[in-house]
Amino acid sequence: MPEIDDGARQYRCVLPFEALPDQVRLLRRAAATQLGLWGVPTAGDETQLVVTELATNVIKHVGEGTPATLILEWKRERLRVEMHDKSQALPAVRTVDCDAECGRGLHMLTAMAVDWGTVVTALGKAVWCEIELGSETACLRVGRALEALKSYREREAPPRGRRSQAVLEEAAVELIADLLHWTSTRGLDPDDVLDRAQMHYEAEAEAV
């Protein structure tokens, strides 16, 4: 569930799984779904590659069927991806052999991430990296929108079987409609407000 930390919006998702080849695809899909619910911009493809590499490394170097945990944390302009497993053996970046697949994962990680590292934990180790999301302004706007949509979603329980993404989309429509009603009661032109909002959005999107 999303968490608030030190006065800044911070969202955290914990995804336990078993390190099996057929679980990697499901884990990648779960991560992509979570990013969609958060509305995190420009991070989907990079995150899925990182998740695939980290999960595959657990399978190769710790063992198939090993319990592991993926943690996603979004705070402002960065997304942090952590992979926890039960081994305390820390990985090291070595010279890549072009004919060998072993060792490529960390080189790909360092190429995509703005920062990365490893740490020994009480139960094993964690390999983490941080992905740049784009402008801080865009991330702050997405965070504020998500907080507003959460309050709309929580007004009533969603129908059974409805996907969270669909619920958020309907909440977004309701929120925009309510804001247009508010502008009308204040003597403003709703179409003018929408045009101005669209101009702000397009200007900030081009700056990312």
State the DSSP H helix or E strand holding residue 79, giving kind and residue range, or none if neither: strand 78-85
Same domain, 12 and 61: yes
Same domain, 52 and 120: yes
Same domain, 172 and 121: no
Same domain, 178 and 89: no
Same domain, 31 and 96: yes
Same domain, 116 and 68: yes
Domain count, the chain: 2
Q: Which residues lie below 8 Å from residue 61, measured CB to CB, with a gap of 6+?
A: 87, 89, 91
Query: At which of 83, 106, 132 does a domain end?
Result: 132
Overall average pLDDT of the 9-38 stretch: 88
Q: How confident is the model at residue 93 (pLDDT cuts 50, 70, 90)?
A: low
Same domain, 100 and 147: no
Same domain, 27 and 49: yes
Residue 19 pLDDT greater than 90, yes or no = yes
69 in helix, strand or coil?
strand
Q: What is the domain-level CATH number for residue 87?
A: 3.30.565.10
Query: At which of 95, 113, 132 does a domain end?
Result: 132
Highest mean pLDDT range out of 9-23, 33-47, 158-172, 177-191? 9-23
Residue-wise pLDDT for 99-109, tens only, equals 444 445 566 67
Same domain, 87 and 159: no
Range of the domain at 81: 3-132
Same domain, 72 and 105: yes
State the DSSP H helix or E strand holding residue 94, giving kind and residue range, or none if neither: none
Instruction: Give the Å distances, CA to CA, from 21 to 10, 24, 53.
Output: 31, 6, 12
Residue 120 has a pLDDT of 94
Same domain, 89 and 142: no
Residue-wise pLDDT for 107-163, tens only, equals 667 677 788 899 999 999 999 999 887 655 555 566 666 667 666 666 655 555 555
Average model confidence (pLDDT) across the chain:
77
Highest mean pLDDT range out of 16-25, 47-56, 137-146? 16-25
121 in helix, strand or coil?
coil
Query: At which of 105, 132, 159 does a domain end?
Result: 132
Same domain, 110 and 165: no
Contact between residue 2 and residue 11 where contact means Cβ atoms under 8 Å apart: yes
Residue 5 has a pLDDT of 39
Residue 68 has a pLDDT of 96
